[in-house]
């Protein structure tokens, strides 16, 4: 990752901007069932395999700033939500994510189905994810 950032630095104008958008390093995807204004949390998805990559990205971004290749222009985070009409769509949703994909904790998927069966008509499944954006100036 550090090598990739250094290579990008070499291809930027002086004063150019490097933007990194990636999943938020600490806010995990949250699955809930929503009915009107009521939100029932089901599970927080695990990103075990991905966490190493996220940690590596964080430290690589810090390192190129410490080396003086870039200065930090700012950091922003944001949440975004996806709504699913039924539990079977969870599989499609997860498959859309480039591997390594998040997964349910043990028993989480069964809990989703149980809660869905008990949910009133018109309920939806909500997945809340968070991203982080770092802007570095060359």
Partner 1 sequence: MATEISAYPREGLERRLIERFVSLRRKHVLEIGCGDGRLTFQYASVATSVLAIDPDRLSIEEATEQQRRRGIHNIDFRVGSIEGLPERGAPFDVALFSWSL
Q: Does 94 bind partner 1 (CB under 8 A)?
A: yes
Query: Are the C-beta atoms of 136 and 72 separated by less than 8 Å?
Result: yes
Q: Does 36 bind partner 1 (CB under 8 A)?
A: no
- In the complex, the smallest distance separating the C-beta of residue 98 from partner 1, rounded to whole angstroms, is 7
Q: Does 133 bind partner 1 (CB under 8 A)?
A: yes
State which of positions 11-30 bind partner 1 (CB under 8 A): 11-13, 16-23
Q: Does 82 bind partner 1 (CB under 8 A)?
A: yes
Figure out which of the listed residues 85, 106, 117, 122 binds partner 1, where binding follows CB under 8 A: 85
Query: Are the C-beta atoms of 42 and 117 separated by less than 8 Å?
Result: no
DSSP symbol at 94: H
Inter-CA distances, 98 with 2, 50, 94, 102, 128, Å: 21, 11, 9, 10, 17
Q: How far apart are CA 125 and CA 87, in angstroms?
A: 7
Figure out which of the listed residues 37, 66, 96, 120 binds partner 1, where binding follows CB under 8 A: 96
- In the complex, the smallest distance separating the C-beta of residue 48 from partner 1, rounded to whole angstroms, is 15
User: For the chain, what's the residue count?
Assistant: 138
Q: Is the peptide bond before 88 cis (omega within 30 degrees of 0)?
A: no
Q: Which is nearer to partner 1, 58 or 111 (CB)?
A: 58
Token reading at 138: 């060359």
| Residues that bind partner 1 in the complex, under the rule CB under 8 A | 1, 3-4, 7-8, 10-13, 16-23, 53-54, 56-57, 73-74, 76, 78, 80, 82-85, 89, 92-94, 96-98, 129, 131, 133, 135
């Amino acid at each position: 990752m550090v090598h990739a950032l250094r290579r990008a630095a070499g291809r930027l104008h002086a004063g150019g901007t490097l933007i990194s958008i990636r999943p938020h390093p600490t806010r995990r995807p949250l699955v809930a069932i929503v009915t009107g204004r009521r939100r029932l949390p089901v599970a927080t998805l695990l990103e075990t395999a991905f966490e190493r990559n996220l940690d590596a990205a964080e430290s690589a971004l810090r390192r190129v700033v410490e080396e003086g290749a870039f200065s930090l222009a700012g950091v922003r985070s944001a949440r975004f939500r996806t709504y699913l009409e039924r539990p079977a769509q969870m599989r499609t949703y997860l498959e859309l994510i480039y591997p390594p994909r998040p997964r349910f904790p043990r028993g989480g998927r069964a809990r989703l189905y149980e809660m869905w069966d008990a949910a009133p008509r018109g309920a939806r499944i909500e997945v809340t994810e968070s991203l982080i954006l770092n802007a570095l100036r060359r």
